[in-house]
Each structure stands twice: as structure tokens, then as C-alpha cells.
Amino acid sequence: MPALAQPFFEIAPYLIVFALGALIPSGRSKLERSTVGIVAALAFLFVRGMWPDASAPLSDLGAEWPHLLTAIVFLPMIGGAALLFLPRQAPAFLQRFTLVVMAADFVLSLSLLGISWTRGWHFQYIADWIPSLGIRYHVAADGLSLWMILLSTFTMPIAALVSFGSIKKRIKDLCFALLMLQGAMIGAFVSLDLFLFFVFWELMLLPMLVLIGVYGGVDRIKAAYKFFLYTMVGSMMMLAAILYLVWTHRELAGFWTFDYLALSKVVLPEQAAWLCFAGFSLAFLIKVPVFPFHTWLPDAHVQAPTGGSVILAAVLLKLGTYGYIRFCMGMFGGPAGTAGAFLASIVIVLGIIYGALVAWKQDDVKRLVAYSSVAHMGFVMLGIFAATPAGLAGAMLQMINHGISTGALFLLVGVIYDRRHTRMVQEFGGLAKVMPVYATLFIIVTMSSIGVPGTNGFVGEFMVIMGTFLSEYLRPFYHLQAILASLGVILAAVYMLGVVQKMFFGPLSNDKNKHLSDINVREVMAISPLIAMIFVIGFFPNVFLEPMQETVEATLDRYREQRVEFTEQEGGAVARLTSRRGGPLEVGYPEDPNAPKVAAAKPGAPADEGAAAAPAAEEEARPARPRPSDAGAPEMPAGHPAIAPRERPARPDAAGGPTGAAPQRPPARPPARPAPAQPGPAPGTPQGSRPSAAGEAK
């Protein structure tokens, strides 16, 4: 190809896509058509850049900027703090400032797509925060949090743009709440220290409370209190479980830490494990929400402003599913696996089917969409409980799909509410005659919501149902559960197509609807990115599935190991720590801060031996357990924090006796007299197994 022609052929595809997008809404303004064309060109650029077969750089942890996640989290927060010093009397400037900060955060978050998402933590940054309590500022991302970060930075500017069109009072307070909410939500998605996670978890509660309680509808105070009380009850239960885990780790390892990597190594006794799992899962199931904790959601959606409903559906509910995958499956795989079949039945019968039936009987279109959200989030939880590669990957993809489709539905409901100030279905009819573009967009989003092939909803729901049908954890009713979940798809088509028929077709009988204006430029700018993503995910799902593949495999591997450890516990077992395996998933593991002091107290002890003495003694004090192979993990250099401490002999205590672990090397001097002969192993005892505690006492 000639050198002069190459730039043309590089740019030509984007120009063609831009032209096609600009021609779709014929008869509209040039700005509106240009907006659609730009969105179409950017969607094509995204697909081309993320195509799995395209050449991508290998992930190099050393080349990743460690402060990227910190910048993404705190850029909107710093913008919110700067907003406080701007004049309240300039609402247009405040709105533009907020949109610029959110757009900059979105552009910054796109840097996450510039690497290959291999197994392990990326863009990790660790700094001591409160060393005396083992609290660190520890942030990192994997294939799960990647898409949650991008979903947050993608939908928040859209929600803000929608809010600025319908809210005309207290603009400064609104902008501050939106910016703080964005930073808090992203912070919760990247925190690997449980204290830091809890801070962000509670911090995002306050801005959402303001959005509902200040800018909501007639019953906004009741809805805000209901949202606050439900969330706080779950948060207190989770906090109690966190503190118990931290205290148990302190008793076992000898030092305080709130780090997820260390606390996930704690194996609790059966009763304590169930109680801690209940504390965590209650907080996350309320946030999803799952029956019977769902009653706060319809009221919050109906009373919240349009922007608040978009945020609630697109991002805030995903914190519940994210938290269940990260913490319940990551730390309590045993109880989570045992309860999975029962919880799956709950979300199918009382989530998917019940939510669809209740949505079918609603006369308020916004309340209908709210109950449909309960049903669609049931599919996400079903894929998580199935715990199969297809089910978990489908659940993670459906988290993105739900945020786009349901967020778009709430946006479109807000469009008609701004014109008619009513959401009752019987007030409409024949709207397609006066609002053809609005009707077309509503039908496209409806097709996405019910899972028509070619849209994003089809891929996620199909993977979840297939994963449920193959799940060994949901036996013996996994086939029946998959069939009932498929019934939920049919019911979704019934109530969504029913409301479309009542609102947009038939005679235009209501005189108030005859002079309604069609969707405007600002609303097109807000909805067009969501419409583009519906088709991008529908036609190119592997663009989103490929980066999360390693995270899905690592999550399920850890989940299976914890289930085995939990089921093999004997009655009356005490808490213990599992051995460290090393590898990329343990990069950033907290070390005992007292180890250097121990090394300094021992005269003549090398610094590296003293630093590893305390963890080594803890390793030897526990019964040896077979370590599963980690052949898939890359080899780490010597001294890397992912390498587990070397096994060393136990130090004698003050009385000269052993600490409970057999020595790994012979003593410095031979014994004065020969030791008595030890009895041979009992039949069936594996070669090389260590004697029991009773045998050592003898």
C-alpha cells in the first residue's frame, strides 16, 4: 500500500461509521446527528481496540502506574472539594465543571484497557495508613473490578447530564453529591483492605441519601429513610464479621491486619464461619436486593430523580453482587457453597419469577422498571450461585448489561415524566405518532431488557442459564432451576411488550399527548452511548469476556479449595490459617511487623532469617497440608512479596521445649543417649505424615 494512502485507509472506517450514525435520525438537528455519529465512531474504535485477536502488550506489573487507581478514585472527590469554593450563583458553570471532571475521570479510566489482564492484581498500590492496627491503603484491580470501574465512570456523566435537565434547584449541592458518590463507588470496587472498603461502602450512602431525600418525589423522605435503615443494618452485620475475622487473625498470626489477602487465609470453625458469612451476605443481599430484603428498592427508584435512578440501577446495586463474589466467595467458600442451592431457589422463585409477576401488574411505568430490576438482578445472583465458568462469567457480564439496559429504561421514563409529570401507563397511548424517535429508542432498550439476540441482554442471560443447567453445586434440582429461570425470560417479554403496546401504539386518545415534543439534543447525547453499548455487547461479547477470564478461573479455584477445606473439618475444629501458596494472587500480602524486632533481639541472626522467623514458626505450628499445584502461576523472582516465607525450624520456648512443631533439621549437637525407638505407622497411614498431637505428647 502506498505510504500516502495508508492514513486514509486507517481513518476511512471511522468516517464511514460516523456517516452512518449521522444519517440515522434524518430530519433532526445537525448537532444531534453529529452526536450520534461521534458515538458510533467511538464505539467502533472501542471494539477495534479491544478485539481479542489484536496485538496487545503483555502485562508487565513493573510498567503499570501504581497511582492510576488512586487518581481515578480521588479525582472526582478532589473536584467535589474544589466545587465548594465556587459561587452558588453560577449554576451553569457548576454543571459544566462537574461534567468536565467526570469526563476526565472516564478518560483516565480508559487507561485500564491498555494492558493484558492476566491472573493476579494490577495497578496495585499499598501504603500504611494506621500501622498500629494493621490498616493499609491497599487498592488493586482484576478482571472483575475493571468493568465495574469503567461502568461507573461511563454512566455517571450520563446520569449527571440527565439530572441537570430536570433539577433546577440547589445545583451546587447536587454536583457535590454526584462527584463524591462517584469517587466512593469506585473506591469500594478497588479496595483490598476491608477497613478501607467499609469506609467507602458507608461514604457512598450519604450522597445517595441526599439525591433521594432532597431531590426526590412526594414520598422522598420515607424512601430515603427506608434506604438508609436497610443499608445500615446490613453494614453493621458486616462490620461485626470483619472485626471478628481481624481478631481471629491476630490470635493466629500474632499481628493485626484488615487486608483481604490475609483474612482470606483464615479458616474458621463451622459455627463462626456461618455467622461471619451471614454478616457479609446480609449486607450484600440487601444491596442487590434479594427477597425478602427488596422492598426498599421500588420506593427508592420511584421517589429518586431520574439521575438517581440511573445511578442506583447502573452502579449501586452492582456493589452487592461484586461484594458477594469478592468477599463471600473469596473468604467463605464453604458456607457459600453449602447455601448456594437454597439461595438459588430463592432468587429464582422469589426473585426472577415473583419480580416479573409483580412488574406485570404495575400501572406506574417507573415502578414496573424497578421490579423488573429485581428480576434481572436475580439472574446475576443465579449465575454466581451456579459457580461454573459459564455461570460466573455470565453473571459478571449481566452486571454490565443490567447497568446499561435498566439505566437506559429509567432515563427514558424520565424523559416522558419531564413532559407529562405522570408515569401512569393509562395516561399514554399512541405516543409513537408524536414522538417517533423516542418510541424507537424505547423499543430498542425493551428488546435489550427481554434478551433478544443481537442485544446485550441475550448473551448474559443465556450464559447464566447454561451455567445453571451444568452446575454441580445446585444438584439435584439444577435442571429444574434452569427451566424456571427461562420462564422468567418469557415473563419479562410479557410485561415489557405489554407496556410498549399500551404506551406507544393504539389511538392517540388523550389530548394532553397530542402536542408532546420528541426527544431533544441533550437527551439524545445522554441515551446514545447506552444504545451503542447495547449492540456492541450484543455482537461482540468476547471483548468483555476476555479480560475477565483469568479472574473467573481464579475465583472458582479458590472457591473450590475453600469448600473442600470447610467440608473436611472435623467436629470441634479450631480456627487456623491456611498456608501461603505464592503466585500473583498473593502479591501485596501483609507481613508481620514484629518480625524485624524479633530478628534484632536474636544476637547474630541474619536480617532475612529474623524477618521470616515469626511467619515460619506459625507455619510449622500448624499441621502440614498438601499444597495444590500452581503450575499456571508465573515464576516470581527471589524476594518478591508473593513468595511465601521459607519454612524454618521452630524455636525452643523459654523452658527449652519445642513450640509444637517437629524440627526440620538435625540439632547442632548429637544427643547424649540414643532416643527410644518410635513405633511404626499404623496401617493406612500415608508415608511422610506427621504424628498427631497425642502421639507427640507420648
> For 671-693, what is each residue's pLDDT tens digit?
444 444 444 444 444 444 344 43
Query: Quick check: helix, strand or coil at residue 125?
Result: strand
Residues 6+ apart with CB under 8 A from 436: 518
In this prediction, residue 474 carries a pLDDT of: 83
Which residue did the predictor score with more confidence, 582 or 602?
582
The structural domains of the chain, with segments of one domain joined by +, span 9-51, 338-568
In this prediction, residue 358 carries a pLDDT of: 92
Burial label for 65, CB within 10 Å (0-12, 13-18, 19+), is: exposed
Query: Quick check: helix, strand or coil at residue 606?
Result: coil
The model's confidence at residue 15, banded by pLDDT at 50, 70 and 90, is low
Element (H, E) at 267: strand 266-267
The model's confidence at residue 59, banded by pLDDT at 50, 70 and 90, is low
What does the pLDDT look like over 360-406, one tens digit per residue? 989 899 999 999 999 999 999 999 999 999 999 999 999 999 999 99
- Calculate the average pLDDT of the chain: 81
Nearest by Cα to 529 from 408, 412, 443, 400: 408
Residues 6+ apart with CB under 8 A from 423: 364, 365, 366, 367, 413, 416, 417
How large a percentage of the chain has pLDDT more than 70?
80
Neighbours of 559 (CB within 10 A): 22
In this prediction, residue 694 carries a pLDDT of: 39
How far is it, in rounded angstroms, from Cα 642 to Cα 580? 9
In this prediction, residue 182 carries a pLDDT of: 95
The model's confidence at residue 696, banded by pLDDT at 50, 70 and 90, is very low
In this prediction, residue 413 carries a pLDDT of: 93
Q: What are 695's three cell numbers?
A: 502421639
pLDDT at 514 exceeding the cut of 80: yes
- Please give the C-alpha separations between residue 201 and each of 9, 198, 386, 532, 604, in angstroms, as whole numbers: 48, 5, 26, 31, 47
Q: Is the dihedral of CA 546, 550, 553, 558 positive or negative?
A: negative
Which residue did the predictor score with more confidence, 605 or 529?
529
In this prediction, residue 195 carries a pLDDT of: 96
Average pLDDT, stretch 240-251? 94
Residue that is written with C-alpha cell 502479591 in the block? 587
In this prediction, residue 26 carries a pLDDT of: 53
How far is it, in rounded angstroms, from Cα 469 to Cα 462? 11
Average pLDDT, stretch 43-69? 72
In this prediction, residue 19 carries a pLDDT of: 63
Nearest by Cα to 600 from 613, 616, 582, 586: 613
What does the pLDDT look like over 292-308, one tens digit per residue? 888 899 889 999 999 99
